[in-house]
């Protein structure tokens, strides 16, 4: 019964989080956006104390339920492991293995150092929710959209508009490669050894593993009833059941309850933790001493993490005459552009986990993962495919880590995230001698005026004049400029956002 309840909840959470990355209409986020906000690391970086306390209390009560139910990366590994286990010869294929403490705590230490030093790319590589987000956004979402486009194709021919076609494009090759490699590595590990990643590499698993040592309810192995058949150990994907000595490593147990169903002798039960254990299951004095030492080391590491987090609280291809339209190229920006609501590039880099939920949710194709090594996979703005419409606040609504704070339409329309820069040599009125004014016509803040190119000749072709104080950096001018391959006007980012 407990296992079936856990499986049901795990499937519901997994489907909900996956739907957030697949949805391109914005409707799913309104109902299920909270499933991203209760993920451990995003809640920690957003200083969402209520969520963090709730997850810790849940772990102290029932063990690492977060890992087996809420974390999408953990559930994905369980799905791969379950598929592998469908083969009859492999149904009971796991075995007990001792904890590799130096690896678990070493990775956690590197994770904390990277978090403090602001090495966002390393943090993003290890964060479980972010890793799954990149897999869903870069690998699953394109397949989902191609399926939608196929349905739209057939629906249109049946005079139905129940579906509409969406554009599918690769937002970043490095991020795609990293997502693919992550999926392959995790799938191989899960196929062969179950939860190896969760209990050796994942920093969230290590943190929650410390608290799960003290969980009030836990699977208990009754030495008197146990027949040493090893079925529980061979079914345990966390490799934490030492059936020979009748011990369970609760720091690695993910509370999947598989062992309870596997036991044929009624020797395993979910029980209230006893203060003292007697008999064969009792810990040896030297083992208890080793655990105490590891606890002291972990407490110091956790304290550093908590202090650091508090400090960081923070297409068309042809025109009407069938001439080929040349694709725009990304200009070299001295300062990258981060979304309104981030308030500053530094705050954004410190809080962003590179889960790319905002990239998936952006309806205008403005956000895409950075290829800069220091901010690898963290979103930045570029205007080749669209511009940041003043009425859209989607990215601030879906960000679970506080990297993009919630912002109203009024606040966004008055927030300067960058300023437009005019490139004289690219401007069509000067290169072709024709009138244009596209940038001025579409500027939502009225920051661009067309003035005579020759001050002494009022009839000379007009060129744009930019009022930097009124420019909000939305990129409408850059996106809609007809000059190719580089626009005659582009946006430079601001390291600190300001309000008009």
* pLDDT for position 311: 41
Beta strands in 148-258 (DSSP E): 217-221, 241-242, 247-248
C-beta atoms surrounding 310 within 10 Å? 10
| pLDDT: which is higher, 86 or 163 | 163
Q: What is the pTM of this model?
A: 0.85
pLDDT at residue 355, rounded to an integer? 94
Query: d(Cα 84, Cα 96) in Å, to the nearest integer?
Result: 18
User: Is residue 116 within 8 Å of 304, Cβ to Cβ?
Assistant: yes
Which band of pLDDT confidence, cut at 50, 70 and 90, is reported for residue 301? low
pLDDT digits (tens, 9 = 90+) for 465-482: 999 999 999 999 999 999
Whether pLDDT at 42 is above 70: yes
Report whether the peptide linkage leading into residue 475 is cis, meaning its omega lies within 30 degrees of zero: no
Q: Which residues contact 328 (CB under 8 A, 6 or more apart)?
A: 384, 484, 485, 486, 487
> What is the gyration radius of the CA atoms in the chain, in angstroms?
27
Cα dihedral across residues 264, 269, 270, 276: positive or negative: negative
Under 8 Å between Cβ of 129 and 37: no
Q: What is the pLDDT of residue 373?
A: 81
Chain centroid, CA 41 distance in Å: 10
Contact predicate 244/143, CB 8 Å: no
pLDDT in tens, 227-247: 989 889 988 999 999 999 999
Evaluate whether 331 touches 490 at the Cβ level (below 8 Å).
yes
Q: Which of the 8 DSSP states describes residue 389?
A: -
Confirm if 81 and 233 have CB atoms less than 8 A apart: no
Residue 449 pairs in a beta bridge with 465
Contact 194, 256 (CB under 8 A): no
Residue 162, pLDDT above cutoff 90: no
The owner of tokens 């179950």 is: 194
User: Could you identify the residue written with the tokens 């369980």?
Assistant: 78
Structure confidence at residue 295 (pLDDT): 53
Does the pLDDT value for residue 283 go beyond 70? no
CA 44 – CA 204 distance, rounded (Å)? 11
Q: Are 133 and 323 in contact (CB under 8 A)?
A: no
Task: Return the half-sphere exposure (C-beta side, CA atoms, 13 A cut-off) of residue 113.
Answer: 6
Q: How far apart are CA 81 and CA 195, in angstroms?
A: 9
d(CA 484, CA 428) in angstroms, rounded, equals 10
Helix (H, G, I), strand (E, B) or coil at 476: helix
Q: Which of 100-114, 158-172, 266-280, 349-363 is predicted with the least confidence, judged by mean pLDDT?
A: 266-280
Return the minimum-mean-pLDDT range out of 65-74, 84-93, 164-173. 84-93
What is the C-alpha separation between 168 and 144, in angstroms, rounded?
Answer: 10
How far, rounded to the nearest angstrom, does the alpha carbon of residue 319 sit from its chain's CA centroid?
Answer: 38
Angstrom distance (rounded) from CA 81 to CA 198: 13
Span 99-130, pLDDT tens digits: 999 999 999 999 999 988 888 888 899 999 99
pLDDT-above-70 percentage for the chain: 88
Q: Nearest-CA neighbor of 172 among 370, 373, 372?
A: 370
197-231 residue pLDDT tens: 999 999 999 999 999 999 999 999 989 899 989 88
* CA distance from start to end of the chain: 59
What is the SS3 assignment for 183?
helix
Taken in order 129, 131, 132, 138, is the CA torsion positive or negative?
positive
**Separation CA 488–CA 20 (nearest Å):** 37
Q: Which of these ranges, 63-72, 128-137, 150-159, has the smallest mean pLDDT?
A: 150-159
Q: Which helix (H) or strand (E) covers residue 268, if one does?
A: strand 268-272
């Amino acid at each position: 019964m407990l296992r079936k309840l856990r499986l049901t909840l795990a499937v519901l959470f997994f489907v909900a989080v996956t739907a957030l990355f697949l949805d391109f209409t914005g409707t799913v986020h309104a109902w299920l956006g909270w499933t991203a906000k209760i993920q451990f690391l995003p809640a920690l970086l957003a200083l969402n104390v209520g969520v963090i306390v709730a997850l810790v209390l849940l772990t102290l009560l029932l063990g690492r339920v977060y890992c087996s139910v809420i974390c999408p990366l953990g559930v994905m590994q369980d799905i791969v492991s379950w598929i592998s286990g469908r083969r009859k010869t492999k149904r009971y294929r796991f075995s007990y293995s001792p904890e590799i403490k130096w690896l678990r705590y070493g990775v956690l230490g590197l994770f904390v150092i990277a978090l403090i030093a602001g090495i966002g790319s390393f943090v993003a590589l290890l964060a479980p929710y972010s890793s799954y987000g990149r897999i869903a956004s870069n690998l699953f979402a394109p397949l989902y959209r191609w399926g939608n486009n196929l349905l739209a194709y057939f629906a249109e021919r049946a005079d139905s508009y129940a579906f509409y076609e969406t554009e599918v494009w690769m937002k970043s090759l490095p991020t795609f490669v990293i997502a693919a490699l992550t999926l392959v590595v995790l799938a191989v590990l899960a196929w062969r050894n179950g939860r190896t990643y969760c209990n050796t590499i994942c920093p969230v698993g290590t943190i929650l593993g410390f608290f799960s040592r003290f969980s009030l309810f836990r699977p208990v192995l009754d030495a008197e009833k146990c027949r040493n058949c090893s079925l529980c150990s061979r079914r345990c994907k966390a490799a934490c059941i030492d059936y020979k000595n009748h011990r369970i490593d609760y720091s690695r147990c993910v509370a999947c309850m598989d062992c309870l169903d596997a036991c044929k002798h009624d020797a395993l039960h979910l029980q209230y933790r006893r203060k003292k254990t007697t008999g064969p299951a009792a810990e040896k004095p030297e083992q208890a001493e080793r655990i105490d030492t590891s606890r002291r080391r972990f407490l110091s590491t956790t304290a550093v993490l908590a202090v650091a987090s508090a400090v960081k609280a923070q297409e068309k291809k042809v025109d009407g005459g069938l001439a080929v339209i040349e694709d725009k190229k990304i200009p070299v920006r001295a300062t990258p552009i981060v979304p309104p609501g981030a308030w500053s590039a530094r705050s954004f880099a410190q809080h962003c986990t590179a889960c790319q939920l905002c990239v998936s949710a952006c309806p205008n194709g403005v956000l895409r993962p950075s290829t800069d090594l220091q901010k690898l996979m963290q979103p930045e703005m570029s205007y080749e495919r669209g511009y940041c419409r003043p009425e859209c606040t989607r990215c601030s609504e879906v960000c679970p880590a506080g990297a993009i704070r919630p912002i109203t339409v009024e606040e966004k329309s008055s927030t300067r995230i960058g300023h437009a820069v005019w490139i004289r040599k690219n401007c069509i009125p000067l290169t072709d001698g024709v009138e244009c004014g596209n940038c001025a016509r579409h500027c939502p803040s009225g920051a661009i005026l067309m003035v005579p190119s020759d001050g002494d000749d009022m009839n000379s072709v007009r060129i744009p004049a930019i009022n930097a104080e009124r420019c909000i950096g939305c990129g409408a001018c850059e996106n809609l400029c007809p000059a190719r391959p580089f626009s005659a006007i582009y946006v430079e980012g601001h390291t600190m956002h300001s309000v008009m």
